[in-house]
Copies of this chain bind each other. A is one copy, B any other.
C-alpha cells in the first residue's frame, strides 16, 4: 500500500532530522528565544528580501491562521474567503471561535477575484452587518490552483484601496512558487500582502509554519497572541532548527520542485489515460475524476482521499505528492492506472 493521501505522511527531510539529532543535547533558551530561531528568522528575511518584516514560527496551520487573524482584527471585523477556503470549511470554526465571522464568497478555481471583494464591501454598509476587514487567500489553493502575479496584484490593490488586510495562507506556498505556471516570487509577498505564512509541515519539516508580518501596524505584541492561543512552543528551537535547515541552500525550494515533478508525472499519466481533472491544479495536489470501478482497483494498492462524489458512476479523488514521495511509488501508481 502506497499513500498519496497527503504531504504530511512522512517525517522530515534527512537534513532536518540530522540537525535535530546534532543539536539535541545543547541547552538553549525556551519559547523561540534561541540562536536557531534567530538564524531561521534571518534566513526568512533574506528569502523575502525584506529586513523589516516580523517573523514568528508556529507549529501548525490552523494555529497560525487563528492566532494571526484574531490578533489583527477588532471584534466587529470579518474575514472574506472563498467558500472552499481552509479557514472557511476545514478548521472547525477556529476563526469564529475567536469571535469573527468568515464571509464566504463563491470560488472560481479555488480563487477569489478582486471584484468579489468589492461586491462584499458594497453589501456591508452599516453597523447592522459585520465590517469586512481581512481577505484570506491560499496559494496554492485548497484545490491546488495558484494565483498569478497579476491576480494577486489586483486583489492587493483592492485591499489597499479599501483599508482591508490581505492575509495569504502559504501552507503549500513551496509547491505554488515552484510550479511551472507560477510567476510570483517569495519576495513579492511583503509588498503585496499584510501578512503571509510559509508552510513547513507540508514541505519537509516535522511541523512548523513561518508567519511573516509585513504591515507594521500588525506587529505589536504578537508573541502575546501566540502564547494566549497555546502556540508558543516551550522548545521553540525545534522550529528554528527546521526552518534554518529549510532555507539552507534552497532546500525548501528544491523539495517543492521535487514534489511538483512527482505530481507532473502523475498528471501526465492521467492525461494520457484520458480521465478528467476535477480542478486545473499545476501543483502537488491533483484532483481527478475516476470511474468508480477504476477507483476500486486503485484503492487496493494505493491510499488517497475521496474528495467528492460526482455522480453515480464517478468520484473525484485527491492525490498528493511531497518531497518524500518516491519515484517508485509514482511509477507503480501509473502502472496500476494504465493496467486498470
Contacts and interface: CB of A to CB of B under 8 A. Distances in A.
Interface of A: 2-3, 5-6, 8-12, 14, 17, 20-21, 23-30, 59-67, 70-71, 74-76, 78, 89-94, 96-102, 104, 127-131, 201-202, 206-207, 221, 223-235, 238, 303, 324
A92 B71 CA distance: 13
Given A8-B234, A92-B130, 20 more contacts: A6-B234, A9-B30, A11-B26, A14-B24, A27-B303, A64-B230, A66-B230, A71-B76, A76-B225, A92-B224, A93-B100, A96-B100, A96-B101, A127-B224, A128-B232, A130-B228, A131-B221, A206-B238, A207-B233, A229-B229
Given A62-B232, A238-B207, A97 B99 contact: yes
Contact of A62 (B60, B64, B230): B230
Contacts of A102: 101
B238 A90 contact: no
A233 B182 CA distance: 29
Contact of A93 (B12, B66, B76): B76
Nearest to A34: B9
Number of this chain's copies in the assembly equals 4
Contacts of A96: 78, 96, 99-101, 130
Given A17-B24, A98-B75, A233-B207, A91 B59 contact: no
A232 B94 CA distance: 12
Given A63-B230, A75-B98, A89-B129, A8 B21 contact: no
A224 to B, nearest CB: 4
A92 B133 CA distance: 13
A6 B30 contact: yes
Nearest to A62: B230
A21 B17 contact: yes
Q: Nearest 8 CB-CB pairs, A to B?
A: A63-B230, A11-B24, A76-B224, A93-B101, A92-B228, A127-B223, A93-B130, A9-B27
Contact of A227 (B74, B91, B224, B303): B91
A281 to B, nearest CB: 20
Best-surrounded residue of A11, A23, A90, A232 (most CB of chain B within 10 A): A11
B26 A221 contact: no
B24 A21 contact: no
B10 A25 contact: yes
A92 B129 contact: yes
B234 A207 contact: yes
A104 to B, nearest CB: 7
Contacts of A225: 75-76
Contacts of A98: 75, 99
A308 B89 CA distance: 29
A259 to B, nearest CB: 15
